[in-house]
Amino acid sequence: MKLVLFDLDNTLLCGDSDFEWAQFLIERGVLDREVYEARNQEFYDQYKAGTLDIHEFLDFQLKPLSRHLRTQLDVWHKQFMHERILPIINQRARELVARSLGDADLVAIITATNSFVTAPIAREFGVEHLIATEPEQNGGEFTGKVEGTPCFRDGKIVRLDAWLKQRGVDWGDVTESWFYSDSLNDLPLLARVSKPVAVDPDPTLKAHAENNGWPVLSLR
């Protein structure tokens, strides 16, 4: 079985959907600029530096979802896709995903960003399978908490194994596996697959890829 996995933010996207979603809400006055903008940038800088406390960040990111009805959130997300996401999807990323969908048995986007933000983005790429951090819901509305293991660092491996198991697949059944990522935070999963690919990597990942003979690819 051939498995292809894609990170999303700063890999398939020329930007970070987590960061952009918060900025989108700030610009619409849904979130208070004075309270949220500096904190949003601080978390983004921590992520890039590899020092992010994922639970602290998820508390920041998911709480706003619980303050609004899902119907309103869905309206905002359609605007968000048009204004903030489509402009940061380029043709080279679309073509890479399309080739993988034609060649592999299973293709999935695996991302730390929550599934509310990322599910429509995965659909835009034509990818059926999404492995993401799951926001807890009650009666279809968000509670502001996370459900299960966040899909971040080693948590990506935990979530991937659970996803494969749901499909009756063991890691031993996977004969070839690719993972495309830009981030040092994805080193645990990159080290696990048979064909890791660094995509427009941060300096730490670029150095690691060069030292280990991993391909380095640019979609920009």
Q: Report, as residue numbers or ranges, the catalytic residues.
A: 7, 9
Q: Looking at the DSSP assignment, which residues form a beta bridge with residue 5? A: 108, 179
Name, in order, each residue with C-beta under 8 angstroms of 59's C-beta and a sequence gap of 6 or more.
144
Sign of the Cα pseudo-torsion (210, 212, 215, 218, in order): negative
Distance CA 68, CA 216 (A): 41
Strands 106-114 and 2-6: parallel
189: tokens are 């999963």
Distance CA 205, CA 163 (A): 26
Do residues 113 and 8 make contact, with C-beta atoms less than 8 angstroms apart?
yes
Q: Looking at the DSSP assignment, which residues form a beta bridge with residue 89? A: 13
Largest CA distance in the chain: 51
